Structure 1
Amino acid sequence: MHIEESSILAFLATWPLPTLGVGVLFWALVQRPWLTLRRETLQHAWLGSLVFLTLLWSARATVGEGVVIQLMGASLAVTMFGLPLAMVTLAIVDVVSLLGLAYLSGRGWAQIDWVSLGPRFFWMALVPGALTAALQAALRRWVPRHPFVFILGHGYFSALVAAVVAGGLRAIWQVRMGVAQGGLGLADSLTGAVIIAFGEAFLTGMLVAIFVVYRPQWLVTFDEGEYLRGR
């Protein structure tokens, strides 16, 4: 199998990332997240999210001096399905979207950048997903239960903070390890992270608001008994 030298160097510089990713996936599978899909309405939402998130991970834009803008959807997945199922879902999305990008770029099977699966999953799924789950747990504990608070807190706030922190950590890691794409400096990478964060917050918040009103059964983290009936 032919792998570009730059990809090999990137893998050697970021080897802990695939290891942590595999560990988190093992934890997620131990939680038996597929039991969440016993509800038929949630099955439809999950299948639709696979398609949507795959398209999201396959779409990217480059602005300025090589700053890559790519939405992640990790906060949305965690809000809809909980952390374990979200991690499994995004692992599938990681593989399928990489194959899709290879197809669109005309690469053969042997030219696919397989070593990028680990870092992609770590930075685009694991870190923002874990941060989102932690922030939402804090909101459930310390903030009053109200649909409007849920939309702002779980939809906008958690997505924004998770994306900023995940993007900032990724930028610092890439610069320190010498694997920053396109030779970008830390300032440019952090600028891209902030732009992505606002996009994440807008996308997640908008969809969460729609689901709360029209499809609350699609949100595992939204308990109608607590948020709508005041229980």
Structure 2
Amino acid sequence: MQLPNHLVSLPLATIGWLIALGSVAWAVRAAPWSALRAEPARLNLVGLAALFLLGMWSLKATLMPGLTLHFLGAATVTLVIGLELTLIAGLAAAIVLPLAFGGGMAITGWHFVLSALLPALITYAITRASQRWMPPNFFIYLFIGVFLSAVLGVIVHGFGTALLVMAMGLYDADIIWNNYLRILPLLAFPEGVINGMIMTALALVIPQWVISFDDHHYIDGR
């Protein structure tokens, strides 16, 4: 989500930045730094994740100012490097995005919340629930933890964006529904498929990169 600064009120921008900085402050405190120090090569994954998110977010279709369609990629990143590091990489990507491709910084906090924080939390919650309550089956991991979480992330992102632009007074509900929300399924399903393809390749070829996947748990002896 990119908007010029003059369209974003100071209180709204402040709320978005407070949520973003607060969640990343928690992520910095909770991140598994000791494990990363023991395996420093994994730090490269955090940088790659930030670049991946930046690339996904920069490939967008602008329907109307403030209403854009773009892939999120947050589900894949969360499954690979974990929730805490995803939030750190996501904020880095959200800050670089307007600097590299134009747009104001006032909306950056909300862009992080909608494109990284909420989808990452959804992916984390669904994956943990499926691991706890469902059989350790590789296809359950793909269809529930990967595909479903990616699709729901897009839907929550879309409705969150709609509520935000309505709160800003940019468009009314009918315009948002007819020009944005009705098109969301065209993005949600491909998001799930793309995330599924990436995670299938990573889980089968280099499972040691994927923090949420244990090949002995999901594949061996099954």
TM range (shorter): 0.7 to 0.9
Is the Cα contact below 8 Å between 1:83 and 1:133 reproduced in 2? yes
Report how far residue 69 of structure 1 moved. Answer: 1.3
Identity %: 24
Q: 198, 203, 209: which is aligned to 2:189?
A: 198
Q: Unaligned stretches of 5+ in structure 2?
A: none
| Residues 143-191 of structure 1, C-alpha deviations (whole Å, 9 max, x = no match) | 111222212222211111222123223213322442459x942343312
Distance 1:61 1:85, change over 3 A: same
Is the Cα contact below 8 Å between 1:34 and 1:85 reproduced in 2? no
Partner of 2:133: 142
Matches within 5 A, 1:27-42: 27-37=26-36, 38-39=38-39, 42=42
Report how far residue 40 of structure 1 moved. Answer: 5.0
Is the Cα contact below 8 Å between 2:47 and 2:89 reproduced in 1? no
Report how far residue 64 of structure 1 moved. Answer: 8.6
Is the Cα contact below 8 Å between 1:147 and 1:212 reproduced in 2? no
Distance 1:195 1:16, change over 3 A: farther
Report how far residue 65 of structure 1 moved. Answer: 9.9
Report how far residue 130 of structure 1 moved. Answer: 0.9
Partner of 2:11: 12
Q: Which amino acid in the other structure matches residue 30 of structure 1?
A: R
Is the Cα contact below 8 Å between 1:58 and 1:100 reproduced in 2? no
Alignment partners' CA distance in 1, 2:6 and 2:67: 22
Q: Unaligned stretches of 5+ in structure 1?
A: 103-111
Q: CA RMSD in A?
A: 2.7
Report how far residue 16 of structure 1 moved. Answer: 2.5
Alignment partners' CA distance in 1, 2:57 and 2:113: 13
Determine whether 1:225 maps to 2:216. Answer: yes
Report how far residue 85 of structure 1 moved. Answer: 0.7
Partner of 2:24: 25
Q: 101, 108, 126: which is aligned to 1:117?
A: 108
Is the Cα contact below 8 Å between 1:69 and 1:196 reproduced in 2? yes
Is the Cα contact below 8 Å between 1:159 and 1:197 reproduced in 2? yes
Q: Which amino acid in the other structure matches residue 6 of structure 1?
A: L
